[in-house]
Amino acid sequence: MMRKRPTAKLHLLTVREVQTARDGDHSDGGGLLLRVRAESASWVLRYTASTGRRREMGLGVARRGSAAQTGDSITGARELAHDARELLKRSIDPIDDRDRRREVDRQAEQTKKADKARERMTLARAARDYHERVVEPRLTTKHAAQWIASLEHHVPEEVWHKPIADIDAPELLAALSGVRALADSKARVPETLSRVRQRLDAVFEDAIFHKRCMSNPAAAIRRKMRETMPAKQAGQHAALPYRELPEFMARLAAAPGIAARSLEFAMHTAARTSEVLFAQWAEFDIEAAVWVIPAERMKAGEPHTVYLSPRAVEILQVHKSLHARWVFPSTMLDDSPQSNMAMLAVLDRIGMRERTTVHGVCRATFSTWANETSAGRPEVVEACLAHREADKVRAAYNRAQFADERRALMNAWADYLARPSGQVVPIRAA
């Protein structure tokens, strides 16, 4: 016959005994101890875990200031000890269980704080934070102000002040599409929207890095924005009819400043905007009236020779003393070329921005003029424009053979641009 295991006695300590206990461990039964060390007293549960490991679990401070405080302290400690014994009956270590619950509570609190932080971190705040940390130190005051203003003016309020983590791609696309529709209704091309998307892309990437959101909707809508844009007509850039160019050149000649002369130089060379903006004196032989653009600055990845008209050479000679390196230096930054917006600003000043682009008037109009008037053979025109020739052998031959024809074509183009405006069709109203 099995002997019944004796039940451990509990609740052995009285209020008075707790209040007067001296240094040492005083048992209350069932592993619960009152531990007194000098002026401090605490409750400790001593137990054997299911693994056989002997452990001690702190149950808090033993308050002994008054009989009421002591009674409450005893009751609380006994309840905690009871709960721990119930866990032990189920082979659960009370210390491990307490640590697990604390970790759960800690994570829940962190999640709560993160949720509150995400609610406070709106797209506007994230953009302004990125602007302050990254954009302002890199750009001029003017351009940094334009950077943030483009977002403030074009992102609708309901998205701009929404938590950045809650903005998804369809919502952002709809918001920017609404701005584009408004611009189209006013017969204006919303050219800044692509720039807005690029800047939002940077803001969202930065927010992902700082764990403020999990995705980048600005990157996701890039293709969709292109798909929803109105189809372009033949020709990728708006360009003036060549019959209107002499009057256009008269307006351009009257415009002062380095940017106006760089645009005039681009007109005379049929060069791309970046090729003119980053032109350096080392690339020119002014006496030979030749400009050799190195391969690393060319779209086709090959060096390109430009034969300069007398007017193009005259522009260079006037600018020779402005900067040791850059032909068309910036008026705002030291030792830098002009901004890529400089020529576009000139079109704005002479009232032509609604009619044409820089690329269109400098290159597309030149091509149309040369082909329609038979001023040059098609392959010569293409060589002047530095368009890539698919046949590499033929391309090498063309570069070697077209020098005289290309120089003659560029001089004829300069003569056409210099014609008095009264001899040509007036520019139509935009």
Domain that holds residue 411: 242-423
Q: Average pLDDT over the chain, rounded to whole?
A: 84
Of residues 6 and 88, more confidently modeled: 88
CA distance 382 to 335: 34
What one-character DSSP code corresponds to residue 26?
Answer: E
Q: What angle, rounded to 10 degrees, do the helices at 403-417 and 245-254 form?
A: 70
pLDDT tens for residues 11-54? 999 999 999 999 999 999 999 999 999 889 999 999 999 899 99
Least confident of 211-220, 297-306, 388-397: 388-397
The answer on pLDDT for 118 being more than 70 is: no
Domain with residue 66: its CATH number is 3.30.160.390
pTM of the entire predicted model: 0.47
Report pLDDT for 392: 52
DSSP 169-231: HHHHHHHHHHHHHHHHHTT---THHHHHHHHHHHHHHHHHHTTS-S--HHHHTHHHHHHHSPP
Domain count, the chain: 3
Residue 429, token pair as written in the block:
């109203």
Give the separation between CA 313 and CA 411, rounded to whole angstroms.
11
Q: Which residue has the tokens 């977002």?
A: 151
Same domain, 374 and 415: yes
pLDDT tens column, 58-74: 999 999 989 999 999 99
Is residue 165 domain-resident?
yes
Residue where a domain stops, chosen among 53, 79, 106: 106
Same domain for 182 and 77, yes or no, is: no
**Does residue 324 share a domain with residue 216?**
no
Residue 115 in any domain: the answer is no
Domain co-membership, 308 together with 398:
yes
Instruction: Calculate mean pLDDT across residues 98-106.
Output: 91
